Amino acid sequence: HMADAHRTDLMTITRYVLNEQSKRPESRGDLTILLNHIVFGCKFVCSSVSKAGLAKLLGLAGETNVQGEEQKKLDVLSNDVFIKALTSSGRTCILVSEENEEAIFVEPSNRGKYCVVFDPLDGSSNIDCGVSIGTIFGIYLVQDVDNPTLDDVLRSGREMLVAGYCMYGSSCTLVLSTGGGVNGFTLDPSLGEFILTYPDIKIPKKGKIYSINEGNARNWDEPTKKYVEKCKFPPDGSSPKSLRYIGSMVADVHRTLLYGGIFMYPGDKKSPSGKLRVLYEVFPMSFLMEHAGGQAFTGKQQALDLVPKKIHERSPVFLGSYDDVDEVKALYAAEE
């Protein structure tokens, strides 16, 4: 009976990744193990995020715990958890975290063939008010395991193998692409397992929502100004788009992926490269968008074609529904 099948035959994320692995006979399961460690990190952070409001209420934040350590801030805690999970997987050699100035080279005894770039807890301005925040990650294959260098992560986004994010929202949702389609999994707290809930996500070709921090409008370039004006006053007389902006990239991108539309963090007069970081914000989200049938543009090129020169480099980004991003591209092309 179908209903029973649904309840007892769940596609967990581990089962999904194992299935993917079995399609590649040469694979030895290293990626499966690495992803399992990332999933553990996401569960840990999810649980900490959901307890954080309570801890604050009880006055625990900033106090010392049994070991006499200061209670760690959520972003620091998340970073520590991911670094421990990733190094102990034995499958990584270079880690780039938004929280660490320098790249981390895993010691040879723990080393594996993957490089992981990540933002352990993105959307910091939303932490203290309980609004959705998230983790973003991307995975590269090192070129020479015995000799990892920064060049292994200073590569185009096209060379990324896997990208994903986990959103800590009204539920905990992990969205992943291993290079094929994009799939979304929701954490079942009673099982402690991520279950496939959004199989093969495809972003609508055109959307009805635009998402941008409009407070920066006076510093925008012409194409951004013109595009946002078109969203509000469509020249063809069609209905205007709705504005939604959370200020948490993971949440804004997740909504864009599911409902369609466009998310923008442009460059402006004050910060020509915008705010978002290429390696662990722009690339993974652009990778997911392209694999879901959307696109991502920097104002100059497809975002995945960028090759960063520094690990914390920033770039403007316009990503989302194919047709909506095309309109932005046309406005930039007309500038030249």
- Point out which residues bind ligand AHM (CB under 6 A): 122-125, 213, 247-249, 252, 265, 275
- Which one, of 186, 215, 184, 188, lies nearest residue 201 by Cα? 184
Minimum CB separation of residue 99 from ligand AHM in Å reads 9
Q: b vs e for 112-140, b when ≥16 Cβ sit within 10 Å of the residue's Cβ?
A: bbbbbbbbbbbbeebbeeeebbbbbbbbb
Minimum CB separation of residue 70 from ligand AHM in Å reads 21
One of 75, 122, 152, 268 touching Mg ion (CB under 5 A): 122
Torsional class of 145: left (φ above 0), alpha (ψ -120 to 50), beta (otherwise): alpha
Site for Mg ion contains 119 (CB under 5 A): yes
Site for Mg ion contains 20 (CB under 5 A): no
Nearer to ligand AHM, 65 or 125 (CB): 125
Q: Which does 293 bind (CB under 5 to 8 A by kind): ligand AHM, Mg ion, none?
A: none
Piece of the chain touching Mg ion by CB under 5 A; list 42-50, 85-93, 111-119, 127-135: 111-119
- Which one, of 42, 59, 60, 150, lies nearest residue 96 by Cα? 150
- What does the H/E/C string look like for 274-315? CCCEHHHHHHHHHHHHHHCCCEEECCCCEHHHCCCCCCCCEC
200: helix, strand or coil: coil
Residues 22-81 that bind Mg ion (CB under 5 A): none
Nearer to ligand AHM, 136 or 306 (CB): 136
Nearer to ligand AHM, 37 or 277 (CB): 277
DSSP secondary-structure letter at 243? Answer: E
Q: Which does 213 bind (CB under 5 to 8 A by kind): ligand AHM, Mg ion, none?
A: ligand AHM
Nearer to Mg ion, 122 or 324 (CB): 122
CB hemisphere CA count around 76 (13 angstroms): 6
Minimum CB separation of residue 248 from ligand AHM in Å reads 5
- Which one, of 307, 306, 285, 286, lies nearest residue 295 by Cα? 286
Minimum CB separation of residue 80 from ligand AHM in Å reads 17
- Which one, of 117, 182, 126, 189, lies nearest residue 155 by Cα? 117
- Which one, of 252, 323, 243, 244, lies nearest residue 281 by Cα? 252
Q: Which does 123 bind (CB under 5 to 8 A by kind): ligand AHM, Mg ion, none?
A: ligand AHM
Nearer to ligand AHM, 115 or 127 (CB): 127
DSSP 12-30: BHHHHHHHHHHTSTT--SH
Nearer to Mg ion, 122 or 152 (CB): 122
DSSP secondary-structure letter at 69? Answer: P
Q: Which does 47 bind (CB under 5 to 8 A by kind): Mg ion, ligand AHM, none?
A: none
Nearer to ligand AHM, 112 or 123 (CB): 123
Q: Which does 275 bind (CB under 5 to 8 A by kind): Mg ion, ligand AHM, none?
A: ligand AHM
Minimum CB separation of residue 204 from ligand AHM in Å reads 21
- Tokens at residue 84, please? 């421990």
Minimum CB separation of residue 241 from Mg ion in Å reads 26
Query: CA 95, 101, 102, 108 torsion: positive or negative?
Result: negative
Minimum CB separation of residue 122 from Mg ion in Å reads 4
83: helix, strand or coil: helix
Residue closest to Mg ion (Cβ) = 122
Minimum CB separation of residue 322 from ligand AHM in Å reads 21
Contact residues for Mg ion, defined by CB under 5 A: 119, 122
